[in-house]
Amino acid sequence: MSGETFRGAERGVEFPEPPIFERGAPGRRGASLAALDVPEVDAEAHFGELARATPAALPEVSEPEAFRHFVRVSKQNYCIDTQMYPLGSCTMKYNPKINEWAARQPGFTAMHPLTPDHLVQGSLEVMWRVQEILCAVTGLAQCSLQPAAGAQGELTGLMMMKAFHRAQGRAPMKVFVPESAHGTNPASCTLAGLEAVKIPAAKDGLAHPEEVLAAIEREGGDDVCGLMITNPNTVGLFETRLPEIAKLIHDKGGLVYGDGANTNAIMGQARYGDLGVDVVHINLHKTFTTPHGGGGPGAGPICFTDALAPFQPRPVLTKTPEGFVLDHDCPQSVGRMRAYQGNFGMFIRAYCYMREMGADGLRLASALAVLNARYIWSQLKDVYPVASDLDCMHEVVFSDEEIEKATGVKTLDIAKRLLDYGFHAPTVYFPLVVRGALMIEPTETETKQTLDEFVAAMRAIRDEADREPDLVKQAPHLTRMRRLDEALAARKPRLRWHPPES
C-alpha cells in the first residue's frame, strides 16, 4: 500500500457517537423558556383521540450536547466539501460558495411564493435569464424551470409529447429507448402512461439508426410516440448517430426526447436542438453546480421547440412590455408539475455560476470535464479494462471481468477498498450493459493533483488484488463502519430507533 496515497489515516480523532436518544437525562434542557403566560389547554378536549396519551420520548439534552452531537455526526459524512466524489452519472461537482451567498440574500429568502408578480420582478427576471441561458445552451426555443429533478423533467417532457400527439387527434404509445439510456428513461415512460421499447445496445455502446429502424418495423410503424435518448449516454459516449436517428423518428411522426442530464460534457460544444431533439431536460445539479444528494432539492428544467410550447407546465413566465408575468391562462398545458415556480433557490445558484463562468467559461468547463475523464482513462486502462474502445466523454466505465478472473476481486471490493484510501466509491454495477461496471466521473472541478492521487489509489488497489486479494475483499478496514450487509439494509431497513432492551 502506497504511503503517499494512503489518506484514510489522516481523518483525525473520531469518537463513537450514539444516537441522541441515548444521551441526556429527564428534565435536562437546552433552552430557557419564559413562564407560560396564557391559559393551559387541555389537549384531549381540543384534539380528542388525536391527542397523545403519553408525551413523545424526545431526547432531553443540554445545548452543548445537542450541538456537539450534530457536529460530530456531520463529520462522519463524506461530502464534496471534504473529498473528491467520483460517482459516475451523478456528477458530484463542487458547489461554489458564492452560489450559496447569492441564494441566501434576504430579498430572495424572505420572499413569499404568492407575492404578486409586480412586487417580485427581480426574482422573475433571474428565472427569465436562466431560461434564456438554457435555451442558448440547448439550441431550443423555450424553457420551463418547473420540474424539480431530472426524472421529473423527463416525465414533464413525455407528458408534453403525449399532449402534442393528442392535440393532433393521435394517441401513439411507443417510445423507443436505447439500452444505453439512463434507468429513469424507461421508468418515466411508464409513469407517463407510455410504453418503453428497448433498443439493444450495439457492440460499440452507441445507438444506431439501423437498429432503431428495425425496432420501429418490428413494433408497428404507426405507433411511434417518439424516442428517448440519453446523450452523452450512460457509458459516457457521445451518440454520434443521433441526427440520423432523429430524422427517422420525425419521418414516422414521432418526437425526440433528449436526456440532457450529461450536458456538463457538451455545453458550448454541441446543442440538442441541432441534433434533432424536440425536448430535453438539464439537471442544474449536475451541470450548473447546484447541490444535490440526499434527495434534493434539485432542478430539472426542460427546453423545447415552439411546437411543444403550448403544452408546457403552467404558469408560464412571460415577458411583456409592463414587465414579467406568470401566465396561468394556458389551456393546453399539461398542468402544474411542482408547487409555485419550482426550486427557486436552485435557479439563483445556477444563475450565479452561469454569470461567473460566462459562455467561454461554460465551454471550457465541459472541455475540462471530458479531459479529466480521459486522463483517468489513460492512466488506468492498462490495469483496468475499459468498457468501450471509443473515446469517453465526461465519465469512463471500467469492467471487473479480467480482474475477477485473475484474482477473485470484484467491483464491489475495489469500491470498498477505495474508502480506505479516502475516496468515495465510484458508481458500481451501473450501467447494466457493462459487466461489473465501475463508472468514474471526476468532473471538471478536480485538479490534476487530486486526479493523480485517485489514480495512485486505484493502481495500488489493483496491485493489492494480485498480491493480497483478501485485503481488498474484506475492505473497508479504516472506516468507522466495516463492510455492511447492503442487501439486508436495502430489504429490511431499520429506520427507527428503539430503546435498548433493559
Ligand X SMILES: Cc1ncc(COP(=O)(O)O)c(C=O)c1O
Return the number of the residue (186 or 273) whose C-beta is nearest ligand X: 186
Beta pairing class for 255-259 and 224-230: parallel
CA distance 247 to 410: 42
- Nearest approach, Cβ of residue 284 and ligand X (Å): 9
> Which runs of consecutive H residues, i.e. helices, occur in 149-223?
150-167, 184-191, 209-219
Taking the complex as a whole, the smallest distance from the CB of residue 479 to ligand X amounts, in Å, to 25
First to last CA, the chain: 45
9-30 as b/e: b if 16+ CB within 10 A: eeeeeeeebeebeebbeeeeee
| Nearer to ligand X (CB atom), residue 90 or residue 161 | 90
Q: 175 — phi, psi (to 5°)? A: -120, 120
Which of these, 221, 367, 343, 362, lies nearest to 290 by C-alpha position?
A: 343
The Cβ-side half-sphere exposure at 284, using a 13 Å CA radius, reads 37
Task: Find cell 454541441 and name the residue.
Answer: 270
Query: Measured from the CB of residue 257, what is the shortest distance to ligand X in angstroms?
Result: 11
Scan for cell 408546457, then name that residue: 312
**Nearest-approach distance from CB 126 to ligand X, in angstroms:** 21
Residue 288 or 324 having the CB closest to ligand X: 288
Q: Minimum distance between the CB of residue 255 and ligand X, rounded to whole angstroms?
A: 18
Least CB distance from residue 258 to ligand X, whole Å? 10
Nearer to ligand X, 124 or 199 (CB): 199
**Complex with ligand X: residue 90 or 216, whichever CB lies closer:** 90
User: Residue with CB nearest ligand X?
Assistant: 150
CB 188 within 8 A of CB 172: no
Report which of 333, 337, 335, 336 is spatially closest to residue 167, judged by C-alpha positions: 333
How near is the Cβ of 30 to ligand X at its closest, in Å?
A: 36
Task: Measure the CA–CA gap between 228 and 154, rounded to whole angstroms.
Answer: 9
Total H helices, total E strands in the chain: 16, 12
Residue of 372, 351, 373 whose CA lies nearest to 362: 351
The minimum distance between CB 87 and ligand X, in angstroms, equals: 9
Please, which residue, 188 or 399, has the CB nearer to ligand X?
188
Residue with cell 408497428: 220
Instruction: Using CB under 6 A, list all residues that contact ligand X.
Output: 89-90, 149-151, 182, 184, 230, 259, 261-262, 283, 298, 300
Nearer to ligand X, 259 or 444 (CB): 259
**Residue with Cβ nearer ligand X (90 or 418):** 90
Closest approach of ligand X to the CB of residue 113, in Å: 22
Using the minimum distance from each CB to ligand X, give the nearer residue, 284 or 316: 284
Rounded Cα gap, residues 327 and 29, in angstroms: 50
Number of C-beta neighbours around residue 291 at 10 A? 21
Closest CA to 347 of 418, 290, 428: 290
